[in-house]
Structure 1
Amino acid sequence: MQIEDKVYDVRIPVPGELVPDMKDIYDFVVARSQKLIISSRDSDYWAECDLARKVSKQLHVQKYCERLLQQEGDGTVDIAGLRSDTSRCPICDSSLIHCNSCQVASCESHDCRGFSDSPFARCVKHKMEVLCFPCLQGQGSKRELEKCPGCNSWCCARDLSSCTGHPLNIPPMPCVNNKFIAPGLITAYAESARAHPPKRGSCMECKLPGWRSCRNKLCWSHSICPECTSGGLTCMCGEVWACDLCAEHDPSVFIRCPRCRRLFCYSCCYIDDCVLCNGSNLCYDCAEEVSETDDKELEEMPVKLVASCGSCEVKMCDLCESHLAVSCAVCSNRLCTPCVRDAECLCNRVLCDGCVTDHGCGLCSQRHRDDSDGS
């Protein structure tokens, strides 16, 4: 095989190491020229790519069959009498799989003689995601398939959890109020240096020892490795964990007892809070101790929870109950602000859920039925 230089009118022998690749190119061009030429009106980039992929796949199926015939000649494989199908293995009738990059073919059965000598990596969840090892190794640090360290299965890299590294040197950021995350915290997370480069975790089915997920949906990383979990805080109930930065800067994650300063999640049974202002009373331990000992100076005063919403039953403090709550027009139960918005009807009355059925007008009753159907 030679390369013809049209400029200088010379022929150069193809180096031996390039002969296999040149033969592949030659076979592809010949096979492609034998296909129906796409008209210029219907042709486009993706149609041409799809056709090229099909041609390449067929060539590799032919090479696969040639390899089996060579093995048959060696006496290692007997394919006499078995049908030949470009989508099935002629030995075991399993499906043929192709590398998504180079299109090389292999039987999908590891026990079959037709299984490629060069192993294939195949996503355990997405069966169409396949790469031969040479192509996989050629992708370097940006490999499309990775092995899960938990179950040792090949998975799409995008499906593996990842710890982006704990942000370094985040400055103190006082909150505007006790409801919302500190302004600028997300930007500080994004711009901060990290304790380590992104580190791979496990697939969605596995849970690696020491890896955790922060309760805050705006955390700097969806998954956090053991190296970065130090300093994280767990609620007294043991059900909710948050990283140290989110626990400190985002008041929507934990409630802090005004007396002992311990942190509790909002669903915890050890403390209560006002749903409207997010102020908390004392945790149950401190509430018992205060009655037995002298009060000590508190950094912030606990709220007094005096009422529960007549519809959703969340608790309200005395100030919010006086200024923000509204009474049901029939039973006078107090309703929190969200329930008041839901309870407003075209009849201009506010009714709790318990009074709509018995005392509501037709519009109120229809609204109540619609809400029940929607839930």
Structure 2
Amino acid sequence: MPTWTIISPCEKDYDHPMRMNIFRVMKTVYRMSDSSNEPSAVDEGKHIATLGYAMLQEKPGSPDLSSVVMHFRLCTQSVTQFVVTTSPMQFVDMARNICILIPPCKLTVSAMADIDEFVFMRSTSFRGLNNPVEECDLARRIWQQVQAKRYHRRLLQQEVIGDIIDFACYRTRSPRCSICDSNLIYCNGCQVASCESDNCPGSSEPPLARCGRHQKEVLCFPCFEERGCTAELEKCPECKSWCCTRDISSCNGHPIDIQLIPGLPGSKSVLPKLIVAYAKSARVHSPKRGCCMECELPGWRSCNSTLCWSKTICPECASGGVACLCQEVWACDLCAEYSPGVVIRCPRCDRPFCRSCSYIDECQDCHRAHLCYDCAEEESDVDDGVMMELPKFVASCGRCQAKVCDRCVSHSAFSCAGCSQRLCPSCRTSLCDDCKQWSGSDEESGTGGDTGADLDV
């Protein structure tokens, strides 16, 4: 008896086309006989549902299905709780050993009919696949053929279609629209078909939600409503178009009471502490939704630090942010203060710069900065104590020319295997401009590169 596991918390969801139909049946059965365990969503992870059938091979030709059976149980149970048949529509409560008829409501009848038709079509392929990915892929292709046929049948039932379709070219199983010849698109859940063209009369039967950026992300509204908060699509609050949930910007809320002591020059221990501090801190507000990637909301910003507490930041939380003088880099107030190398401040005038700014130099290891070029012209006015603490650049990366100060030049570094020129961590997997070769650090590779070969500044 061929059997497939359709719903299970122990297996990945490969979008089997019968997943939503079986969920609808399972929800009905549990509501009738075990309401306390009625599933609220298909991805709830509390139930296991399998679909199987038996075949009679006594007659030649296509196999006759003697029974289509679904087995439901909680994932904490080791034996089947309910056995459901589609013909007749009933289920057996195994614990109480009673048979109960399923009321013929429209949704359940439609789901049962779809399950029967799918099982019949799947049984004619005679392909036994043990890989769940391949099985679900085959199941989707089979069900898409069924849905394409249903789509073309719906077009014939529309009054306006008779004047549009050339019946001589009518194709009942074609993956293209019979009206405009556009491709058909399919719901990722139930595989129901529709024309991809918004201007085609066939595109509205039924309406499908489709991501504008990821064309394969499609859901019909029944599947969208049943998936609830787990649906992969949502409407952009700004432009009202459908898009993937992951493409909607969100502000996580500015962390409260972050108290960190910036690391000493040459120390990078502040980074893990910063990540932990962000994760543990309270927030000024709960996650706030923004807009899709095609829209821009006034005042929303993105911090240039990869360690930032939020990918996008709302106007309320962005008020204390810092932009460099060239306006190429913006950082939130916390990352500007604690995340090394994002914002470079001149020790004298305290103006913010970035690595793209050509008005200041910074050691790429310890992130100490020299005077900006404007302040350097007034070096005679700078206190001697301040000048003593400024970095003295004695080397640079052989590729990007990032500066290295006298305190950090003796640190273990990556170097070119050919000429031993120093490479900064950002360029360690790149090739030296001169030799186009790269090796690991001097100690690891054994090249014994002499830092004296570094470029003097």
The TM-score normalised by the length of structure 1 is 0.72
Q: Is the 8 A contact 1:256 1:264 kept in 2?
A: yes
Structure 1 residue aligned with 2:168: 81
* Alignment pair present for 1:3 and 2:89: yes
Matches within 5 A, 1:72-221: 72=159, 78-86=165-173, 87-148=175-236, 152-177=240-265, 180=268, 182=270, 183-221=272-310
Distance 1:234 1:73 in 2: 59
The amino acid across from 1:99 in the alignment is: C
> Structure 2: how far apart are the matches of 1:85 and 1:73?
18
CA distance, structure 2, for counterparts of residue 105 and residue 316 of structure 1? 61
**Does 2:155 align with 1:65?**
no
Give the aligned partner of residue 31 of structure 1: 121
Question: Which SS does the other structure have where 2:158 is aligned?
Answer: helix
For the residues of structure 2 that align with 1:315 and 1:93, how far apart are their CA atoms? 61
Deviations 1:92-119 (A, max 9, x none): 2222111110111112222222223332
SS class of match (1:106) = strand
Superposed displacement of residue 297, structure 1: 8.3
| 1:234-313 → structure 2 map (5 Å cutoff) | 234-274=323-363, 277-284=366-373, 286-287=375-376, 291=380, 295=383, 302-303=389-390, 305=392
CA distance in 2 between counterparts of 1:296 and 1:351 reads: 33
Shift of 1:215: 2.2
Q: 2:143 aligns with which of 32, 35, 56?
A: 56
Which of structures 1 and 2 has the bigger CA Rg? 1
Offset at 1:245? Answer: 0.9
Offset, 1:244 = 0.8
- Would the alpha carbon gap of residues 138 and 372 (structure 1) be closer, same or farther in structure 2, given more than 3 Å must change? same
Distance 1:199 1:37 in 2: 51
Q: Structure 2 vs 1, CA of residues 261 and 95 (structure 1 numbering), >3 Å: closer, same or farther?
A: closer
- Secondary structure of residue in 2 paired with 1:115: helix
On the 8 A contact 1:219/1:246 being kept in 2, the answer is yes
| 2:301 partner letter | R
Indicate the RMSD between aligned Cα atoms, in angstroms.
Answer: 4.1
Identify the residue that residue 19 of structure 1 maps to in structure 2.
Answer: 109
User: Which of the numbers 366, 371, 374 marks the counterpart of 2:436?
Assistant: 371
C-alpha separation in 1, matches of 2:156 and 2:179 = 11
Residues 265-286 of structure 1: per-residue CA shift (max 9 Å, x gap): 2443443345565433334555
Aligned length: 337
1:355 alignment counterpart: none
**Residue identity opposite 1:142 in structure 2:** T
SS at match of 1:185: helix
AA aligned to 1:22 is: M
Contact 1:280 1:302 in 2 (8 A): no
* CA 1:282–1:154: 2 relative to 1, 3 Å: same
Give the Å deviation of 1:135: 1.7
Q: In 2 relative to 1, CA 269–90 (structure 1 residues): closer, same or farther, beyond 3 Å?
A: closer
CA–CA distance in 2 between the matches of 1:165 and 1:10? 52
Deviations 1:66-123 (A, max 9, x none): 3222225996765532321421222222221111101111122222222233321222
Point out where structure 2 has 5 or more consecutive residues left out of the alignment: 1-86, 423-431, 439-457
SS at match of 1:81: helix
- Could you report, residue by residue, the CA deviation over 1:182-211 in whole angstroms, capped at 9, with x for unpaired residues? 141111112223333333444445543322
User: Partner of 2:203: helix, strand, or coil?
Assistant: coil
Task: Write the distance in 1 (CA, Å) between the matches of 2:298 and 2:437.
Answer: 43
CA distance in 2 between partners of 1:310 and 1:47 (Å): 50
* Runs of at least 5 residues in structure 1 that lack an aligned partner in the other structure: 326-335, 353-366
Q: How much has 1:153 moved relative to structure 2?
A: 4.1
* Percent identical: 48
- State whether residues 282 and 302 of structure 1, in contact with CA within 8 Å, keep that contact through their aligned partners in structure 2: no
Aligned equivalents of 1:240 and 1:246: distance in 2?
Answer: 12
Which whole-Å CA distance do the structure 2 matches of 1:101 and 1:75 have between them?
30
Q: Deviations over 1:42-84 (max 9, x none)?
A: 5443343333323332332232233222225996765532321
Q: Is the 8 A contact 1:305 1:315 kept in 2?
A: no
